[in-house]
Structures are given as structure tokens and as C-alpha cells.
Amino acid sequence: MIVLIAKNVVAEKNEAKFLQLAKKMVEETRKEAGCIYYDFVRDTNEKGVFYFVEKYVDQAAVDAHNQSVYFQTYIPRMRELREDTQLNHCEVLSFE
């Protein structure tokens, strides 16, 4: 399993537009066969900081997500509204 944590820093003036696009991304991504978990959260310690928290079955599912029409449509629009971004690519550890 793969977990992605995408940090987005958004200026207050761009927040409403960014949240509209984020809502669409959440709605579409949750329908993907390889998506286990996908949510959008607001940082309670830092104003204007949001995270996409994503969990996929494997890298093929991540690749399919990144190649989807909505990803290719919404992410460039979101990029224009962000001040900064960081993507953490994580591997789930099994302790079994």
C-alpha cells in the first residue's frame, strides 16, 4: 500500500476557489478502484495549510489516479492558486 500526503499552502484570497477544486478531487478520487482512502484536511495550527491524505493499493493505482482526466484538469488549476506545495510519498509498514 502507498500513502501520499500532499501539503498545500494557499493564500486566503485563493482559498474559496481552491476548496471548490479540492471538493471535486475528493468526490472523483473516492470512486477509483485502487483508492482505499482519500480525504482533504485543514491544518489547525497553520492558517492556509491543507493536506490531501491518500491511500492506494499500489503504485499502479497512484499512476491511474495521476493520469485521470479530472486530475489532469483540476491539478493545474489548483497549482495556480497555491503558494507552496510538498508531496510525501510513503510506504505502509506491516508489523504482522
Q: What is the CATH number of the domain that holds 69?
A: 3.30.70.100
CA–CA distances in Å: residue 62 to residues 10, 23, 56, 70, 72: 24, 19, 6, 14, 13
Q: How large is the average pLDDT for residues 59-82?
A: 96
Q: Would 96 be classed as within a structural domain? A: no
Domain region containing 86: 2-91
- In tens, the pLDDT along 31-63 reads 999 999 999 999 999 999 999 999 999 999 999
**Cα distances (Å, whole numbers) of residue 3 to 17, 48, 61, 73:** 26, 22, 11, 22
Q: What does the pLDDT average to over 1-27?
A: 97
Is the pLDDT confidence value at 91 over 90? no
Scanning the chain, the segments in alpha helix (DSSP H) are: 15-29, 59-67, 69-81
Note the pLDDT of residue 96. Answer: 79
- For residue 73, pLDDT over 90 is answered with yes
Q: Using the predicted structure, report yes or no on whether residue 85 has a pLDDT greater than 90.
A: yes
Average pLDDT estimate for 20-31: 97
b/e burial code for range 11-25 (CB count within 10 A of at least 16 → b): eeeeeeebeebbeeb
Residue 75 included in any domain: yes
Overall domain count for the chain = 1
Arithmetic mean of pLDDT over the chain: 96
